[in-house]
Chains A and B, each alone.
Chain A
């Protein structure tokens, strides 16, 4: 190989590598991102049993059932539709009634969301971003 050919080979393999990385990124963006739903969105386009979703909304007042061992039940609402949720871990510190929450998990046959992650706001001035934006669009919630 001449020096020029060598150079071309190096540049070519570098480019090929970059293309591979870009393809991987696009593939991952298509596959590994989860869409965000509000309860009312599930009414419009129901997700099937077993689908992983990310659900945002407010914790419905009076819906939290604790004390069945480690299992907690509550209902996520956007004042138009509600989704019951079961969670088998420790809830975040700032999880409260009528506060914003984002829940990730799989939908069960009975329409109950089996959550593996529950995110409440990080501090008392913070509403999960997606929830805040969606609720504001609906005019259900106002920032103080």
Chain B
């Protein structure tokens, strides 16, 4: 019964989403406050209903109820409980339900905490959110219903794709969706501003924290996905420029741009039109990502053409929202009043440069991702656009951006002084250059490229620290005074510095792995030892092992250091998931400091040996640690009192509260 109740709750949520779309919108048009207010309970009740539907589906997974077609297709009664739960969103239907659940979660947040938003703005925002939710709920119910039933119910399920049976999968899609879908709020605010024909002062104040939250989640989601691919696929790569990865990377680039232009808008009332456009583009790229991943167009253009229901439905949603928003923009953007002026060399100017580089970089990724699809659809010609393309286009655009990052925070608003900024940064610059030289001369195999890259990464980190030091006045005022000023710095300053330093850490990790990594492929007999990265691995032999829903052959390696001290053991295995008869390779990974030793095994050879592929990956963990630091920076910035959602209303003694009483 719970399954059918979940199904009913889903249908009811669609009904409420439709109400949420039309009633507040009409209310805003005819000026009825009561109608505008309908959006709030509708959004919150809708969230409750979707949560109930999702819980019902999850319960069916936990209980292995194969009378639900979706559960039968993606689960197995012998699967560990954790993967039964994560399997709920490890498939098309379930993940779309999660998508809408998160969308409605954000909508409900606006409804619940947007008390001091102008009522028309709030009504319009909720209406746009409702419209997005309606479109996707209709898509789920008509083409991808997770509650479709089977009768009679099969005895055993088909199991979840083994490479998805992983803790990484438990975290990756929800984080990614929190990011993807979080941008819908910025989109709805942009659309609402265009419908109203004006951008309130509250607009930027509201858009920035939402963008920040979505951006932080997306950063975490992408990093998680990258780490998951790194250890689960057994190839040792952390980024493949795969269309699925690009689909999440494009909104990240655009979202990063939006984050920065929203700062200009909040502080300086400038770049209004551009920010609104960017908010539309960012969520459009999220929708495009959803389309690419969910329509099957990537798996095969052919498959898309032969079973078009889903693909065409999402494409229609995509065209409707992107086209609609851009058309609205074209008609109404002129109505938005332009904002303050600024000198090209200023904090605003730096942020404009940031936006220009980020959006262009996003555009090259877009071209590289869509070009093969479009070419194939039009001419039937098949090409592949891989890492060489992105190295030639994305990297040259991104490097100057990285080099320019430390300048931004030390320039002043409105009109800045480049020479002064450079002087303020001279210490960071000197430290980076010295480190680069040290790297060049001290590191074995260190190339000029590696040294430059390391210098760039450190420049970002030192630049971020310098900014903090400057703001605290270290060196200028008494240490005690500097310390108290440091503690009194707004959280957003720390957030900025952390995020920029995190970017530097990731850069450092990427540079070190790509230029200094060593690998060996060899055949090993039991008892044989191989040396890599200053360590030695002795192959102990293969042992069979049986897991809950798989069997595997485990290869054991004893790890010793340079001085033959035993450091521990590494296990890499060939696993066979019995339900689908599908083999996977589990890599053996050992973290030493920030670096990792990565071993993956291949086939046995005729003479009783085993093919072994091993990598020494120096500082590889910095790639993901950097992303976590960026995410942390976003989080800290989010807790800045000035950005906090609804801040004016909460401070009882504050001027806003006074305003409310006066009204």
Taking Cβ atoms with an 8 Å cutoff, the residues of A that contact B are: 6, 9-10, 14, 17-18, 21, 24-25, 27-29, 31-36, 54, 66-70, 72, 88-91, 93-94, 122-124, 126-127, 129-130, 132-134, 136, 143
Q: Can you list 16 residue pairs at the A/B interface with Cβ under 8 Å?
A: A6-B344, A17-B356, A24-B364, A29-B371, A34-B386, A35-B382, A69-B523, A69-B605, A90-B602, A91-B603, A93-B574, A124-B581, A129-B299, A130-B382, A132-B302, A134-B382
Interface residues of B in 285-324 (CB under 8 A from A): 298-303
Q: Contact check, B386 vs A70: say whether CB atoms are below 8 A apart.
A: no
Q: Contact check, A32 vs B582: say whether CB atoms are below 8 A apart.
A: no
Report if B653 contacts A (CB, 8 A): no
Report if B613 contacts A (CB, 8 A): yes
Q: Contact check, B382 vs A93: say whether CB atoms are below 8 A apart.
A: no
Q: A69-B523, A89-B521, A123-B161 are in contact. Are A29 and B584 (CB under 8 A)?
A: no
A71 to B: closest C-beta gap in Å: 9
Q: Contact check, A129 vs B611: say whether CB atoms are below 8 A apart.
A: no
Q: Report the contact-size class of chain B (Cβ under 8 Å from the partner).
A: 35 or more
B91 to A: closest C-beta gap in Å: 12
- Which of chain A's residues has its CB closest to B302's CB? A133
Which 7 residue pairs across A and B have the least CB separation, nearest first? Answer: A90-B602, A67-B606, A32-B388, A36-B382, A28-B392, A32-B389, A67-B605
Bound-state Cα–Cα, A133 to B583, Å = 25
Q: A21-B397, A24-B396, A66-B605 are in contact. Are A33 and B383 (CB under 8 A)?
A: yes
Bound-state Cα–Cα, A55 to B496, Å = 47
Q: A6-B344, A35-B383, A133-B300 are in contact. Are A88 and B521 (CB under 8 A)?
A: yes
Q: Contact check, B607 vs A67: say whether CB atoms are below 8 A apart.
A: yes
Bound-state Cα–Cα, A123 to B385, Å = 22
Bound-state Cα–Cα, A6 to B346, Å = 14
Q: Contact check, A28 vs B384: say whether CB atoms are below 8 A apart.
A: no
Bound-state Cα–Cα, A129 to B298, Å = 8
Q: A17-B356, A29-B367 are in contact. Are A90 and B601 (CB under 8 A)?
A: yes
Among A34, A36, A72, A129, contact of B300 (Cβ-Cβ < 8 Å):
A129
B197 to A: closest C-beta gap in Å: 26
Q: Contact check, B360 vs A32: say whether CB atoms are below 8 A apart.
A: no
Chain B residues near A123 (CB, 8 Å)?
A: 161, 163, 582
Interface centre among A27, A122, A133, by most chain B C-beta atoms within 10 angstroms, is: A133
- Which of chain A's residues has its CB closest to B306's CB? A143
Q: Contact check, B383 vs A34: say whether CB atoms are below 8 A apart.
A: yes
Interface residues of B in 152-183 (CB under 8 A from A): 161, 163
Q: Contact check, B600 vs A28: say whether CB atoms are below 8 A apart.
A: no
Chain A residues near B363 (CB, 8 Å)?
A: 21, 25
Q: Contact check, B611 vs A133: say whether CB atoms are below 8 A apart.
A: no
Report if B522 contacts A (CB, 8 A): yes
- Which of chain A's residues has its CB closest to B349's CB? A10
Interface centre among B300, B367, B385, by most chain A C-beta atoms within 10 angstroms, is: B300
B364 to A: closest C-beta gap in Å: 5
Among A10, A17, A54, contact of B360 (Cβ-Cβ < 8 Å):
A17
Interface residues of B in 595-647 (CB under 8 A from A): 600-603, 605-607, 611, 613
Q: Contact check, A25 vs B364: say whether CB atoms are below 8 A apart.
A: yes
Chain B residues near A89 (CB, 8 Å)?
A: 521, 602, 613
Q: Contact check, A33 vs B385: say whether CB atoms are below 8 A apart.
A: yes
- Which of chain B's residues has its CB closest to A121's CB? B299
A13 to B: closest C-beta gap in Å: 9
Q: Contact check, B344 vs A93: say whether CB atoms are below 8 A apart.
A: no
Chain A residues near B303 (CB, 8 Å)?
A: 132, 143
Chain A residues near B299 (CB, 8 Å)?
A: 126, 129
Report if B234 contacts A (CB, 8 A): yes
Chain B residues near A134 (CB, 8 Å)?
A: 382
Q: A69-B523, A129-B300, A136-B302 are in contact. Are A94 and B582 (CB under 8 A)?
A: yes
Chain B residues near A126 (CB, 8 Å)?
A: 299
Q: A90-B601, A94-B582, A136-B302 are in contact. Are A25 and B367 (CB under 8 A)?
A: yes
Bound-state Cα–Cα, A66 to B393, Å = 39
Interface residues of B in 358-380 (CB under 8 A from A): 360, 363-364, 367-368, 371-372
Among A28, A72, A88, A93, contact of B234 (Cβ-Cβ < 8 Å):
A93
Chain A residues near B392 (CB, 8 Å)?
A: 24, 27-28, 31-32
Q: A89-B521, A129-B301, A133-B300 are in contact. Are A24 and B393 (CB under 8 A)?
A: yes
Report if B188 contacts A (CB, 8 A): no
Bound-state Cα–Cα, A27 to B396, Å = 13
A98 to B: closest C-beta gap in Å: 15
Bound-state Cα–Cα, A94 to B162, Å = 12
- Which of chain B's residues has its CB closest to A126's CB? B299
Bound-state Cα–Cα, A134 to B382, Å = 10
Q: A25-B367, A28-B389, A70-B521 are in contact. Are A36 and B384 (CB under 8 A)?
A: yes
B553 to A: closest C-beta gap in Å: 13
Q: A33-B385, A70-B523 are in contact. Are A133 and B301 (CB under 8 A)?
A: yes
Bound-state Cα–Cα, A89 to B611, Å = 8
Q: Contact check, A21 vs B389: say whether CB atoms are below 8 A apart.
A: no
Q: Contact check, A91 vs B302: say whether CB atoms are below 8 A apart.
A: no
Report if B115 contacts A (CB, 8 A): no
Q: A129-B298, A129-B299 are in contact. Are A66 and B603 (CB under 8 A)?
A: yes
A45 to B: closest C-beta gap in Å: 13
- Which of chain B's residues has its CB closest to A68's CB? B605
Q: Contact check, B383 vs A93: say whether CB atoms are below 8 A apart.
A: no
Report if B585 contacts A (CB, 8 A): yes
Q: Contact check, A29 vs B385: say whether CB atoms are below 8 A apart.
A: yes
Chain A residues near B585 (CB, 8 Å)?
A: 90, 93
Bound-state Cα–Cα, A118 to B172, Å = 27
Interface residues of B in 389-413 (CB under 8 A from A): 389, 391-393, 396-397
Bound-state Cα–Cα, A122 to B299, Å = 10
A86 to B: closest C-beta gap in Å: 14
Q: Contact check, A28 vs B301: say whether CB atoms are below 8 A apart.
A: no
Bound-state Cα–Cα, A90 to B300, Å = 26
Q: Contact check, A124 vs B580: say whether CB atoms are below 8 A apart.
A: yes
Q: Contact check, B384 vs A54: say whether CB atoms are below 8 A apart.
A: yes
Among A14, A25, A133, contact of B393 (Cβ-Cβ < 8 Å):
A25
Chain A residues near B393 (CB, 8 Å)?
A: 21, 24-25, 28
Q: A32-B389, A36-B383 are in contact. Are A70 and B611 (CB under 8 A)?
A: yes
Q: A25-B364, A129-B300 are in contact. Are A94 and B384 (CB under 8 A)?
A: no
A6 to B: closest C-beta gap in Å: 7
Bound-state Cα–Cα, A81 to B384, Å = 22
- Which of chain B's residues has its CB closest to A14's CB? B356
- Which of chain A's residues has its CB closest to B583's CB? A93
Bound-state Cα–Cα, A32 to B584, Å = 31
Bound-state Cα–Cα, A25 to B369, Å = 12
Q: Contact check, B300 vs A132: say whether CB atoms are below 8 A apart.
A: yes
Chain B residues near A21 (CB, 8 Å)?
A: 360, 363-364, 393, 397
Among B364, B582, B602, contact of A70 (Cβ-Cβ < 8 Å):
B602
B295 to A: closest C-beta gap in Å: 13
B86-122 vs A, Cβ < 8 Å mask (1 yes, 0 no): 0000000000000000000000000000000000000
